[in-house]
Amino acid sequence: MKNKIYLKLFFPLLIGTYVLAQNSSECAQNLSIFAENAKVKNYSAAYGPWISVKNECPDLNIAIYAYGERILKNRIKNTPESEKIQRQTDLMNLYDDWVKYFPLKKGKNDVGNILSAKAQSMIDFKIGSNIVIYSIFDDAFKKDPESFSNPKRLYSYFKSFYEIYKSGNGEITTEELFEKYEDISDKFEIEGVKISKNLDKILKKEASGEPLTTRDLKLRKVYDSYSNAIAVSLKSLDAIMSKESSCDNLVVLYKRNFNENKLNLVWLKRATARMYAKNCSGSELFVQLVEAMYGIEPSADSAYYLGSLNDKKGNDEQAVEYWEESLKLETDPYKKAKILYKIALKFKEKGRKTTARNYARKALSFQPSLGKAYLMIANLYASSANNCGDSQFDKRAVYWLAANTAKKAANVDASIKKAALKTAASYNGRAPSKTDIFTEGMEGKVIQFSCWINDKVKVPKL
């Protein structure tokens, strides 16, 4: 009797275990099939085994969602209009299940990335309203800003917020618009520094003469692409805000809120940075902002702005003192590079070329990937073409040096590569021609510039 009872209890358990094992085996097999097809973009062949795995074993492997996103997007693009709503619903459900079963990637939170991908897909496939799309982006940004790093999505996040602001449906104030702009701009800066740090490791390795590995070269392409994407997205972001952030608008906005925020360091930093970026440093309000910020806590930023204010008044010595204080107060090498570059620009404007180059070179010592510093030096050289060299040939040879320096900018910074190469081509066009080289018998010779440049260039071979 006991054996019968035991069999009654054990047999269903045995059958259940067998079914689970069979399902698991089939899921693993189908996982392999759909993954191989998805890798070669044969999404129609991947769909059948993929949907089987997703339905039977949704927590088996993250590939269900990573490849599933591609498979479903392909189906939406190639499905009849009558079926698109269902396919779009399938894609939205996929993102929800992705968060449910695989919120982590390599042990780190991936929710920000997943939710922002969902919101971006809603934009791409025209699903839902701006308010709904924005709420998902905002959820992603608040829950997991670390993995919400895709430049296109960060731009879309702000744009959806801006469109709600312009429509008036969300009752968003101008102050809230600027706060959102600053939040996302700060995030872009964080991501940009991450890329620069990774890229600089490769550039330093390259500069030391150590050969780059295949992995280095692959990573270099990834970093260059990401850096360029950040630059494009930031440009689009600033284009949206250009009308909203005119000097007149900024003065009205910040003057209205100054008294209640004059002890709020974050607010003061953002307001000052925005006004400085928009060339509003001549206003009385800007002076108040800087002095309030410096009074609370002397910082690299406030010291730099005080230097700029003194520079504008013609107090050169005091300007330099504040700028040097700014550099001493700043401990982050990438922020230090940014300050050094801005100081270099100030001296460039004054025509103090040697000093400007010195500061630009210091900036590059902290951030080798700061291409605009190379480009500025190239411009300094080109502007001295008529003042360096004894002969007309030597004077024009300065353009080769300028072109070579511009090419360095293109090499280290993908975000300005196109502009830098265009600049280099322009300078090469002003340098001595092949006929000039042949006539003067200068092929392959080295020209030393004894002026402030104090550098040399090798004449190209014919």
- Domain end (from 112, 144, 172): 172
Cα separation, 454 vs 450, in Å, equals 5
pLDDT value of residue 4: 52
In a domain, 57, yes or no: yes
Q: How many domains does the chain have?
A: 2
pLDDT value of residue 306: 95
Tokens found for residue 410: 């293109």
In a domain, 156, yes or no: yes
User: What CATH number should be reported for the domain holding residue 59?
Assistant: 1.25.40.10
In a domain, 225, yes or no: no
In a domain, 112, yes or no: yes
DSSP H stretches of helix in 246-391: 247-261, 265-277, 284-296, 300-313, 316-329, 333-349, 353-366, 371-382
In a domain, 191, yes or no: no
Could you tell me which of 197, 188, 182 has the C-alpha nearest to residue 154? Answer: 188
DSSP H stretches of helix in 40-129: 43-56, 63-77, 84-101, 111-124
What HEC string does 252-268 produce? HHHHHHHHHHCCCHHHH
Pairing relation of β-strands 456-458 and 446-448?
antiparallel
Strands (E) across 49-114 are located at 104-105, 108-109
In a domain, 125, yes or no: yes
Give the structural domain span for 128.
2-172
pLDDT value of residue 13: 39
**Count of CA atoms in the C-beta half-sphere (13 A) of 282:** 4
The most distant pair of C-alpha atoms in the chain lies apart, rounded to whole Å, by: 115
Residue type, 24: S
Cα separation, 66 vs 56, in Å, equals 17
Spatial contact of 229 and 151, defined as CB atoms under 8 Å apart: yes
**pLDDT profile of the chain (462 residues), mean per 10:** 49 42 83 97 96 96 97 94 93 98 96 98 96 97 97 98 90 91 94 96 94 95 95 93 88 92 94 91 93 94 94 92 96 96 95 97 97 98 91 95 97 95 97 95 93 95 86
pLDDT value of residue 124: 96
Q: What is the pTM of this model?
A: 0.87
In a domain, 361, yes or no: no
Cα separation, 240 vs 245, in Å, equals 9
Cα separation, 370 vs 338, in Å, equals 9
Cα separation, 16 vs 226, in Å, equals 49
- Domain end (from 122, 142, 172): 172
pLDDT value of residue 3: 53
Pairing relation of β-strands 446-448 and 108-109?
unpaired
Spatial contact of 37 and 46, defined as CB atoms under 8 Å apart: yes
Tokens found for residue 171: 């009752």
Angle among Cα 265, 271, 277 to the nearest 5 degrees reads: 130
Spatial contact of 417 and 372, defined as CB atoms under 8 Å apart: no
Tokens found for residue 63: 């590939």
- Domain end (from 172, 197, 226): 172
In a domain, 190, yes or no: no
